[in-house]
Structure 1
Amino acid sequence: MSARGSYFEFSYHVENLLFKGLGSSTVGGLFGLCIGVAVFTVLYESIKQFHHYLAEKCQENLLLGANVSRCNSQESETNRSDDIPLVQQQLFDILTSERLKCHLFQTVLHTVQVVMGYMIMLVIMSFNVWLGMSVVFASCISYHVCSTYIFNRPVLLPVEAVNYTS
């Protein structure tokens, strides 16, 4: 077993990256590893952004369903029909099942996100500068593209950045 320093190195020689036998001893092999790591990082950022997007959409749907339920309860007070409580119970059951499905899917996405995050951390812990830069650049670019162009999340400005001239 070779002693390994805790410092970053500019080397094209990589041994056992994430799995035994996955490595490189040539510049072309290192370039391939960097491309693979960048693609993996883009996939990680995409899953992370999708997880946030899905949480926002589920919250909107639950609020919309709660508003429909409130409207139905107001109608029941005015109509006094015997069928309205049954409709409300069915709506409640539908909202509960949708919430559970959404939560289950978010749980799976979270688990995949955690596993991928630890794998990216292990890539960084290989202390190879080229692989580390691949992770950083791919993360920056994919965050910008996913949040701005794919999921249309607004860019939030801090209050100090807004100019209040009158």
Structure 2
Amino acid sequence: MEMTFSFSDRLVLLFDCWSVHSPTGLALSVLVILLLSVLYEVVKMGKAKVLRRALLAVPPTFSQDTLLGPNEGDSGDGGGGDSEDSGGQEREAMQGRWFRYHVGQTLLHVVQVVVGYTLMLAVMSYNAWIFLGVVAGSALGYFVVYPLLCVGYGAVASHPIQ
């Protein structure tokens, strides 16, 4: 296997069964890799959106102590009435929301890692066309996805161009 970039239309990409022997096959392979690069950028944006929703769902006063529960030595107000029950229910609801967002971010992270390593291995085929497909897909994905991320944060409305 060559260890320098080449512009060949013959290569084996990722698996033995993904063998390219023609310019048409190479073009289709570059298109698939380009779409994987776009997917990588979409997943990155998805992780940021999920993080934003998680931060909005959990109020700023929601501390780590609230997530984990009160300390064993903390006796509270000693009343043991309805205020403790409603506080406990609220804490359980917050824990459930936080956990769902955490699971969502974890799954998106796994997808991002798998797609990222797949793209890295594709680039390691040392085919310049595949490399350019990864770069173009990343640029296209970022160009398309980034405005969607900014709109959610209100960056466009709060920072007008003067």
- Normalising to structure 1: TM-score of the pair? 0.76
Higher relative contact order (CA 8 A, sep 6+): 2
3-state SS of 2:125 partner:
coil
What CA distance in whole angstroms lies between the structure 2 residues aligned with 1:95 and 1:151? 26
Distance apart, 1:84 and its partner CA: 2.1
The counterpart of 1:14, out of the listed 11, 15, 18, is 11
1:43-93 CA-to-partner distances (Å, cap 9, x unmatched) read 1110111011111210121126839x9xxxxxxx9xx99322211110000
1:62 corresponds to: 58
Q: Is the 8 A contact 2:45 2:149 kept in 1?
A: no
1:24 corresponds to: 20
For structure 1, which runs of at least 5 residues remain unmatched after alignment? 70-76, 156-162
1:50 corresponds to: 46
Percent identity at matched positions? Answer: 27
Q: Which deviates more, 146-155 or 55-64?
A: 146-155
What CA distance in whole angstroms lies between the structure 2 residues aligned with 1:109 and 1:131? 25
1:109 corresponds to: 108
Alignment of 1:2-151 (within 5 A): 4-15=1-12, 17-63=13-59, 66=62, 82-149=81-148
* RMSD of aligned Cα (Å): 2.7
- Normalising to structure 2: TM-score of the pair? 0.78
Q: Is the 8 A contact 1:65 1:95 kept in 2?
A: no
